[in-house]
Amino acid sequence: MNQVHVTICTGTACYVMGGADLLGAVDILLEKYGGRVVCEGSTCLGYCKLGKQHKAPFVKVNDRLLAQATVESLEKAVEEALGAAAGDGQADADRSGAGKGEGVPGPACGEADNG
């Protein structure tokens, strides 16, 4: 099973510019995709130093950086990453609801996995 790794910046700028909403989307992603999505928070990803064309909040989906990320752009990037990892047929099955319940949700952002 391929996993998509999501890292949400929770630094001050990212948090106040919409990172809090992105953290709220974690539950939606875990419910929809189960163990195929692994999420973590980061106190600062450091991308706000890149200049004016790069604006908070920042999220990394695998190696892809999302600037000015929204819940919608995060969900789309995760769906694209899952589709790329599994092939078009699996992505279609995911959208239709087939195969749900295959994974066990991991910890939400900011929670330790001490298990």
Look-up: residue for tokens 């875990």? 30
φ, ψ (nearest 5 deg) of residue 64: -95, 130
CATH 3.40.30.10 fits 4-92, yes or no: yes
Residue 23 has pLDDT above 90, yes or no: yes
Of the listed ranges 5-9, 33-37, 70-74, 101-105, the least confidently predicted one is 101-105
pLDDT band per the 50, 70, 90 thresholds, residue 109 = very low
Of the listed ranges 21-25, 78-82, 97-101, the least confidently predicted one is 97-101
Burial 12-43 (b: 16+ CB within 10 A, else e): eebbebbbeebbebbeebbebbbebbbbbbbe
Say which DSSP state 107 is in: P
Residue 106 has pLDDT above 80, yes or no: no
pLDDT: which is higher, 85 or 71: 71
